[in-house]
Amino acid sequence: MAKLAVTQPSGSNLNEKRTIGQKIKEFAVDFWRQRELQSMIIPGIIFMIIFCYIPIYGLTIAFKSYTVIDTLDSAPWVGMENFKIIMSDRYFWDAVINTLGISFLKLGIGFIIPIILAIMIYELSFTRMKKFVQTVSYLPHFLSWIVLGGMMINWFSTTGLFNQILLDLGIISKGQNILLDPGKYWWIATLSDIWKEAGWGTILYLAIMAKIDPTYYEAAKIDGASRLRQIWNITLPNMRSIISLNLILTVSGLLGSNLDQTLVLMNSQNREKAEVINSYVYRMGLTQGDFSYATAVGLGVSIVSVILLVTANKVTSKLNDNQSVL
Amino acid sequence: MIKMNRVLRKKGLSLGAILLAVMLTITACGSGGGGGSKSASLPDLDGRYTPDPSTPAWKLDTKKETTDLTWYVNADWWNTDFGKDTVTKKIKEDLNINIKFITGDDTKLNTFFAGGDMPDIITVFDSNSAVAQKASTWALPLNDLAEKYDPYFNQVAAKDTMNWFQQKDGKTYGYPDYSNTQADYDSGDIPAKTAFIIRQDVYEAIGKPSMKTPEEFVSAMEKIKSQFPSLIPFGFNSIGTGTGSLGDVLQDYLGVPLEDKDGKFYNRNLDEDYLTWLKTLNTVYRNGDISDDSFADDGTAFEEKVKSGKYATILLDGVPQQGGNLQTFMTNNPEDKYIAVDGPQSTVGNQPTLNQSGITGWMINYITKKAKDPAKAIQVFTYLLSDEGQALVNFGIEGETYKKNSDGTVEFLPAVKELQLTNSDKFKKDYRMGEFIFFGHDRYKALNKDSSPEAIKQLQEWGNGKLKPHFILENINPDQGTPEARSLSAIDTTWNTTLVSLIRAKTDDDFNKTLDAYKKFLDENNWSKIVEIRSEKMQANRDKLGIK
């Protein structure tokens, strides 16, 4: 700790009189003194440079006409051409609408459900039941969309589980494959995603709830607060920061709606409502070999996502007494 | 300046990191670009042998030391073993080579081009891709290689195929496998790969009706439903992003013309005869004889149903690929099997024009400009294309794995056949027959009746005489990356949806509206320009093949 204190830039007037050479020397000395600490961060920096920063150069292909046999340098520049095409591409805009539609449904419903579920689990006093509910709700998270999607295609088939239950209950008279119904796709995507992830989403909340001081509750009980009152006045306020953090992360991912899910559940009939930006980029980039176009879309999406992230951070910090989470 | 310095000091580390990143980026990019656009000059043979047009060069080559070749295959599933099984061991001995296979995807391929460190031989899967189209920049012309090192190559390479892949400079750079020429079609050696099949027990129970006209077809499906309620009366290949077997496969069944009267591109999707049959399928669907699930099933779900005999009838594309599943059903149900019968036929009297692998073939092989011993590389091509090489990769070694019959056909020796039937994994591992397919061709497969499972033999026989080349329609799409290619991709996607919607239409009115919407979509999406490009490319195809 003492070593660390030495390296704090003092910013005093004395420092300003030193030459650049001295400063470099000082920096080197400081660096050497804390070499053990610095060496821990170096692998991380190198990793970031190689896998996160160097690939950024690859974004230039969004402004080029690039094919497999070109290098990043040899592909001819085409300026904003790819972006112009995106603007007039109906399929792209369909994909944007679907992505936003599905994402907002997921945000509206899928964001609140883990919070409610976490509170319900937290309020359960029977420990075994608590463990059981947690395990059951986590389980789908560990299955990939390939498996879950296959199961869903099976369940929704005309003779599958879903139709069988409806037939037995007398709700319908003939099996229908709802995966072929574009009007229902957004709901299928949203609800199946909630089923898969809601349980997993409770982990953070449960962790934060475990840290709430039990004396708050005791005091509240003495004051005669009901269970709901306790949740409202103690549990929720204590979860505020983690809820904001989650919201920021979710909002920044609005445009990145689940690719795996779409690729498994999309078919020729529900495509108009199922195609999301990611699956569109996948189709254009990988199956059509139109790398430049796909990169241009990806770049645009990234920029919008950053804007969303910053906006969400601003909004939540306003709600959180001007305390920013990021 | 002082302020700057303070910032610099504060941010020293991160700035350093960024600088390092920029430097690394520049170096990373600087090394690229050496992919090789230099014109190729072929090295001399240095007296290793004198090329002779009547003898393959690999028999003449006196090079003592073993040649190491690197062969890149743009597919992750390729088995990279070499020299361990019967087939590759013999190749290794005969040619005195050692092949190191590398596999990967487009990204890896790109790394080779960008890094300039090319393998000797490259095999890719799309002869319409940029890699193939710009082959002259990175591959050696086969014509020059043959002339300088191995004139015998010209005897084993099919002339039509060489012409087909000729580039603007008059040279051919790549050679494909499964490329069928007109002569192959004429010979009758290549089997059909599509069939309308029905379960034999079902067929007999409903009184072996004719299903050639729309009315007959609809009524046969009704009979199936009433007598076999647990079966799906009519099935077809999984639709996915294409059309399953309800697009061009059905069109081929009905003999929809390939071109219009003037030899221009003809939109087969809007052919009246074909639309009549789509209306028929719509009737069948409305009667409840096509399951909605068929439109949502993926390939695996479809195969599962074939395997368990869930479909009463199937319009099946890719008979050999379903061979295993059909065989499983037949083995599990010795009394029942799927048989091919005359299914839907043209309402205006056209004959079926079934398609097979065209002259474009499948995989395509190139020798790169960086090949260390191009003479050896072309020898490998010649060897694998010759009868000798083809016999080896398909049947193994005479006397060791197969014997020749007096009629020219071949059969596996009993022990080999036994292993093929009982332990196909060991069979593949030990012998690898029929798997070294870089220059594979169906005409050699046809010589060995053991090469196809029992269950598909009748299916393939049914197709005899019904094949017609579709050469003029090959590779006629607009070039990748052009606006027309993008429009076409949108049109194809729309057709995929339209086709399913037509069959699932609730009323005749629905059907017509869906069709009109598709026509309108064509008009709005550059269709006339695409037709123009396709017609031009069809003419170019005709010129290449010498078709009037």
Whether A240 shows a pLDDT value over 90: the answer reads no
Q: How far is CA B250 from the centre of its chain?
A: 19
pLDDT for A252 equals 81
Give CA–CA dist A239/A116, Å, rounded: 12
End-to-end alpha carbon distance in chain A: 26
Supply the pLDDT for residue B39.
46
Q: DSSP secondary-structure letter at A303?
A: H
What local confidence, expressed as pLDDT, does residue A250 receive? 87
Q: Which residues does chain B have with pLDDT short of 70?
A: 1-40
B299 touches chain A (CB under 8 A): no
State pLDDT tens for residues B36-53: 444 457 898 888 999 999
The predicted pLDDT at position B115 comes to 83
Domain locations in chain A?
80-320
**B298 close to A (CB below 8 A):** yes
Q: What is the dihedral of CA A105, A110, A115, A121, to 10 degrees?
A: 140
CB contact under 8 A, A73 and B130: no
Cross-strand partners of B172: B166
Using CB atoms, which residue from A49, A85, A177 is nearest to B292?
Answer: A177
The structure's pTM equals: 0.82
Please answer whether residues A295 and A62 qualify as being in contact, where contact means their C-beta atoms are separated by less than 8 angstroms: yes
Interface of A with B in 171-230 (CB under 8 A): 175-177, 179-180
Q: Which of B336, B327, B331 is nearest to B201 (CA)?
A: B336
Contact: B25, A159; criterion CB under 8 Å = no
Q: On the CB side of B133, how many CA atoms lie within 13 Å of its CA?
A: 11
Subunit contact A158:B20, Cβ cutoff 8 A: no
pLDDT digits (tens, 9 = 90+) for B57-73: 999 999 999 999 999 99
Nearest chain A residue to B485 by CA distance is A288
Q: Looking at domain A80-320, which of 3.40.50.620, 1.10.3720.10, 3.40.640.10, 2.40.50.140 is its CATH number?
A: 1.10.3720.10
Dist CA B313 CA B339 (whole Å): 9
The answer, for B1 touching chain A at a CB cutoff of 8 Å, is no
Q: Which residue of B has its CA nearest to A9?
A: B10
Nearest CB among A23, A68, A85 relative to B9 is that of A23
**B window 96-115, beta carbon within 8 A of A:** 106, 109-110, 113-114
Q: How confident is the model over A244-290, as pLDDT tens digits? A: 888 888 888 888 878 899 999 998 889 999 999 999 888 887 777 78
Residue of A nearest to B116 (CA): A71
Structural tokens at position A82: 């790819």
Q: Do A69 and B493 touch (CB under 8 A)?
A: no
Residue A72 to residue B114, Cβ atoms within 8 A: yes
Encode pLDDT of A59-101 as tens digits.
Answer: 999 999 888 888 888 888 988 988 998 888 888 899 999 999 9
pLDDT of B521 reads 95
| Chain B residues within 8 A of A62 when measuring between CB atoms | none
CB pairs under 8 A between A and B: 138
Chain-centroid distance, C-alpha A284: 23
Contact B102, B72 (CB under 8 A): yes
Q: Which comes out higher in pLDDT, residue B235 or A19?
A: B235
Residue B225 contacts residue B359 (beta carbons within 8 Å): no
The alpha-carbon gap from B476 to the nearest alpha carbon of chain A, in Å, equals: 15
Of B130, B292, B504, the CB nearest to A69: B130
Q: Which residues on chain B are in Cβ contact (under 8 Å) with A55? A: none
Residue in A54, A268, A272 nearest the CB of B28: A54
Please state which of the ranges A42-56, A304-318, B145-159 shows the lowest mean pLDDT. A304-318
Residue among A247, A256, A263 nearest A102 (CA): A256
Contact at CB, B295 and A156, closer than 8 angstroms: no
Per-residue model confidence as pLDDT tens digits over A153-175: 889 988 889 999 999 998 888 88
Whether A127 has a pLDDT exceeding 60, the answer reads yes
Task: Give the SS3 label for residue B67.
Answer: strand
Q: State how far the Cα of B437 lies from the Cα of A178, in Å rounded to an integer.
A: 43
d(CA B368, CA B371): 5
Q: Which of A49, A57, A283 sits opposite B20 (nearest CB)?
A: A49
ipTM: 0.77
DSSP B69: E
Taken as a whole, chain B contains a residue count of 548
